[in-house]
Amino acid sequence: MDEIDLVHMRKNYERTELHEDEVCSDPLEQLRGWLDDAVRADVAEPNAMCVSTCVHDRPSSRMVLLRRLDSSGLVFFTSYFSRKGRELQENPHAAALFYWPQLERQVRVEGPVHQISEDESDAYFAGRPRGHQIGAWASEQSETVENRELLDQRVHDYEERFEGEEVPRPHSWGGYAIAPERIEFWQGRPNRMHDRLEFVRAHGIWSIQRLQP
């Protein structure tokens, strides 16, 4: 197999520009606008974001799906006992990253994290596809398992357990909200001279500054 030439693998970004007078004063509204742009551009899973946690000075990252964006922040759902759930329990702060290559854009978000209410988690869980609901019961997320067959058997067992009735939300599963304190909008530009506009919140007020690429 031929070796991949990583050294010369690059793209020059020339799609558009990003100016201070073109962004919303509320960065959450700006993020919503960019999400809308990604949807219209037919980006695969435009709401996918990489969430990073950190405990004992050791960061870890994984892809999740943004399920709600409002004044409470960026909401996603997972098992409270998963690795990210355990790490958020120990250090309730996270960073999230969106990347939309077709638009030559990325957004970085940082802030504290809190669990959303049980009622909100119940409402979201009730609207999930039934197979996803069963999966939340069958998988002890992030724990080791001997083989795939055991997972498939657990799915079968829970399908039988809940046959003919609604699947309730496991108490070990629910939503988290990242409350942004810092949001950076990145627009690719030629020759790596990218546009970077960063919003920082202090005392409930957002300020904006341009960062060098």
Residue-wise DSSP of 63-111: EEE--EEETTEEEEEEETTSHHHHHHHHS-EEEEEEEEGGGTEEEEEEE
Instruction: Kindly tell me if the per-residue pLDDT of 1 is higher than 80.
Output: no
- Binned at pLDDT 50, 70 and 90, residue 61 comes out as very high
Instruction: Sketch the domain layout of the chain as residue ranges.
Output: 20-124+172-211
Q: What is the pTM of this model?
A: 0.94
Architecture of domain 20-124+172-211 in this structure: Roll (2.30)
Residue of 15, 40, 161, 192 marked active site: 192
CB 187 within 8 A of CB 16: yes
pLDDT digits (tens, 9 = 90+) for 113-162: 999 999 999 999 999 999 999 999 999 999 999 999 999 999 999 999 99
Instruction: Kindly tell me if the per-residue pLDDT of 28 is higher than 80.
Output: yes
pLDDT digits (tens, 9 = 90+) for 65-80: 999 999 889 999 999 9
Catalytic residue flag (residue 192): yes
